[in-house]
Amino acid sequence: MDSTFKFVENASTLFIRNFKNPFSPTRSPTVELNQVVEEYDMCGGTPSIHVVVIDSVSLDLWTNENRNFGNFNTFVPGVGGTCRQRFEKYFIFRDNPTQRDLLKTMLIDSIPSGNFVALYSIFNVAYSTWDPALKNLLSSWGSDSINFVADGDPYIFFTKKGDNSQTQETLGDSIRNYITLSATLGGNWTKGFVNSVTIGPAVNWTSFHWDQDPLESLPGVDSVAIDIIGIKSNGQEVALPDFTGIQIGTPDLAINTIDPITYPKLKLRAYLQDELLSTPPQLKRWQIYYDEVPELALNPAKYFKLNKDTLAEGENVSMEMAIENIGNVMADSVLVDFYIFGKNRVRHNISSPRYKTMNPGDTIIGSVSFSTNGYPDLNSLWIEANPRFDQLEQYHFNNLAEILFRVNRDITNPILDVTFDGTHIINGDIVSGKPEIQIKLKDENKYLALNDTSDWQIFLKDPDGIQTKLSFEPVSCSGIGTSMMKWCPANLPQNTFRIEFKPSLLKDGVYELWVQASDISGNISGDNNYRITFEVINKATITEVINYPNPFSTSTKFVFTLTGSEIPEYFKIQIMTVTGKIIREITKDELGPIRIGRNITEFAWNGKDEFGDQLANGVYLYRVLTKLNGGAIEKRETEADKYFTKGWGKMYLMR
């Protein structure tokens, strides 16, 4: 195997998409690197500028974790962020004078020359109010359009700081609502980093030794330096000032001044550069000597005992497991934690005994016994040797074990499931005026059958605000299930209670369904009542059919909304060239199931004609033909109508 260090030769691609009116998730701005989405979406609806910074060596995107340039979105580990509970890979500056000044300062003072920088607008940015100094800065970085962008238009800018030859920008207008920018990063690299594995933990750090060998004979071509990185117990990495930029003339170095308490682990990082020949210097060796720490490990293969894995509540559970010192040095008296996580995933500490000192090769038996009272259902018992790094140790992953046990008591909530015409809907969905509403309650208990209608509370509120408590048919599994609910009790062991309700909802407007149920033991189906709102439009209509995504490269689906109570008997999508030649007709059977309400077809058109031949890139026209009860279905007006001309839509095939 060739172990020669080489600089990266392949290039990476940055792709940014932006919208005049962004909306998550269908019109979400994204930042992609090598076709992988690195960041997406916005933070509220306030006009803003998003800034992306990419390290020129690692091609890593800067994050807002502990980086604060006055940007709106901040993130503090363990606390959270302004916008998300994770760090973000862009910096948000609101479109106001104070934030724009901070943006300008960041661009000038905080981004090293050579790094890649991109910024793009979010919502209606008012470029006309920008300080001329900010516009002049972007102009000095190669922008020739910043002074001409109209307020509210989408905009993307990209450059490599200090190299205007790589500057690009894209701007939209009232017609071009969707814009993109693609840029190539890197190429033939001339510098880079090499990182070692994590070293330690250590009781004492002793010395560092290294050597390198250039691939060419020309003197002074290569640059190489070594950094020693300290790693704290919480994983935070810190460059050590006294051991940064170690040069070739220092092959051996004492490092006993590094505090092993503060930095129990270390890592090495080499910076290699050859801007003339692009042949990095080769590391012959880099070594750190240190005094190692003990290494403990659980060994259930040597000894493990659990009295029972299924118990009655209140019964004692007992567990024993072997713990070994598999390292080369003695471990002080060993602390062991025993704790459980119950059904609510809350930790309950059981005991923390301390065992004898262990020489290399020694074994102890960790044991625990406690009552299961108060721990119903499935629990996980954990044993953890040397918890919280009570003493330094090489690894901790082999100090943990989980043992599952169950305590039988029927306090489990049954599961409620509600569908409309076989589909789970969300609040505000449109449904049929004659829906088939099915309600199911499933209980895990295989002995107490769900069979009592008095355990149910079901209400329906009509568009006039009149709320009615729904009644059951007097006899189970009988009746037509229209004005009253048809119901079937559970059959063990499946234990599922089923309700069918087929109302005729003659009023147009928004309805609300309210459901609450409980099992035989009185466990309710949820802490909150199930509530869902839905809309009924009895008139048969259809919105314009939108293909998504558009433009597309491999496939596109069709999105539309039907109202009424009947599915069209005829539904066809015709796709043709701009000259009027029909190249593909998609039938109702091909599209897959169609329902009243929101539809996203299972079928996805792959951009091929009716003969299976791949079509050329370009614009194609399409229309939808429908028929219900012998006539065409009326079109329903929506915001999407502006993208259609007399029922004709455009789709863009791009590869």
Establish if 6 belongs to a structural domain: no
Report the number of distinct structural domains present in the chain: 5
Tell me: do 599 and 616 sit in the same domain.
Answer: yes
DSSP structure class, residue 456:
E
6 pLDDT band (50/70/90 cuts)? confident
Domain boundary among 186, 208, 243: 186
Over residues 513-520, the mean pLDDT reads 92
Residues 362, 330: Cα–Cα separation, whole Å:
9
CA atoms within 13 A on the CB side of 191: 13
| Exposure letters 99-132 (e unless 16+ CB within 10 A, then b) | bbebbbebbeeebeeebbbbbbbbbebebeebee
Over residues 247-256, the mean pLDDT reads 92
Tell me: do 66 and 129 sit in the same domain.
Answer: yes
Confidence check: pLDDT of 481 > 60: no
pLDDT value of position 311: 83
Tell me: do 179 and 201 sit in the same domain.
Answer: no
**Contact predicate 540/628, CB 8 Å:** yes
The gap between the terminal CA atoms of the chain, to the nearest Å, is 38
Provide the mean pLDDT of the chain: 91
Range of the domain at 219: 191-292
Quote the percentage of the chain above a pLDDT of 90: 75
246: buried, middle or exposed (CB in 10 Å: 19+, 13-18, 0-12)? buried
Residues 156, 271: Cα–Cα separation, whole Å:
33
Contacts of 256 (CB under 8 A, 6+ apart): 204, 205, 206, 207
Kindly report, residue by residue over 114-145, the tens digit of the pLDDT: 899 999 999 999 999 999 999 999 999 999 99
Tell me: do 181 and 241 sit in the same domain.
Answer: no
Tell me: do 371 and 481 sit in the same domain.
Answer: no
Residue count of the chain, please give it. 655
88 pLDDT band (50/70/90 cuts)? very high
Q: What is the CATH number of the domain that holds 246?
A: 2.60.120
Residues 144, 164: Cα–Cα separation, whole Å:
11
Establish if 172 belongs to a structural domain: yes
Tell me: do 425 and 387 sit in the same domain.
Answer: no
Paired residues of 512 in beta bridges: 461, 533
* Coil, strand or helix at 117: strand
pLDDT value of position 187: 55
Measured in whole angstroms, the distance separating CA 129 from the mean position of its chain's CA atoms is: 36
pLDDT value of position 205: 96
Paired residues of 320 in beta bridges: 305, 367
263 pLDDT band (50/70/90 cuts)? very high
Establish if 3 belongs to a structural domain: no
Retrieve residue 540's tokens: 């048969």
Total Cβ atoms within 10 A of residue 135: 16
Establish if 357 belongs to a structural domain: yes
Retrieve residue 554's tokens: 């491999």
Domain boundary among 249, 270, 292: 292
**Contact predicate 267/195, CB 8 Å:** yes
DSSP structure class, residue 648:
B
Kindly report, residue by residue over 157-215, the tens digit of the pLDDT: 999 999 999 999 999 988 889 999 999 986 556 677 888 999 999 999 999 999 888 77
Tell me: do 46 and 151 sit in the same domain.
Answer: yes
534 pLDDT band (50/70/90 cuts)? very high
Kindly report, residue by residue over 388-425, the tens digit of the pLDDT: 889 888 889 999 999 999 988 877 789 999 999 999 99
Domain boundary among 133, 151, 186: 186
pLDDT value of position 575: 96
Q: What is the CATH number of the domain that holds 438?
A: 2.60.40.10
Tell me: do 506 and 520 sit in the same domain.
Answer: yes
Establish if 5 belongs to a structural domain: no
**Contact predicate 383/362, CB 8 Å:** no
pLDDT value of position 464: 95
Establish if 196 belongs to a structural domain: yes
pLDDT value of position 313: 66
* Coil, strand or helix at 28: coil
Over residues 493-515, the mean pLDDT reads 93
Establish if 610 belongs to a structural domain: yes
Element of type H or E holding 321: strand 316-325
Phi, psi of 104 (to 5 degrees): -60, -45
**Contact predicate 489/476, CB 8 Å:** yes
Alpha helix (H) residue ranges in 282-365: none
Higher local confidence (pLDDT), 173 or 478:
173
Confidence check: pLDDT of 367 > 70: yes
Confidence check: pLDDT of 69 > 70: yes
Over residues 430-449, the mean pLDDT reads 88
Establish if 1 belongs to a structural domain: no
Q: What is the CATH number of the domain that holds 598?
A: 2.60.40.4070
Report the DSSP pairing between strands 530-536 and 429-431. Answer: parallel
Residues 77, 501: Cα–Cα separation, whole Å:
50
312 pLDDT band (50/70/90 cuts)? low
Over residues 143-164, the mean pLDDT reads 95
Confidence check: pLDDT of 496 > 90: yes
Tell me: do 275 and 209 sit in the same domain.
Answer: yes
pLDDT value of position 132: 95
Kindly report, residue by residue over 554-583, the tens digit of the pLDDT: 999 999 999 999 999 999 999 999 999 999
Retrieve residue 419's tokens: 């569908």
Tell me: do 314 and 431 sit in the same domain.
Answer: no
Tell me: do 265 and 342 sit in the same domain.
Answer: no
CA atoms within 13 A on the CB side of 357: 4
Tell me: do 448 and 493 sit in the same domain.
Answer: yes
pLDDT value of position 22: 92
Identify which of 4-13, 442-451, 464-473 has the greatest average pLDDT. Answer: 464-473
Confidence check: pLDDT of 218 > 70: no
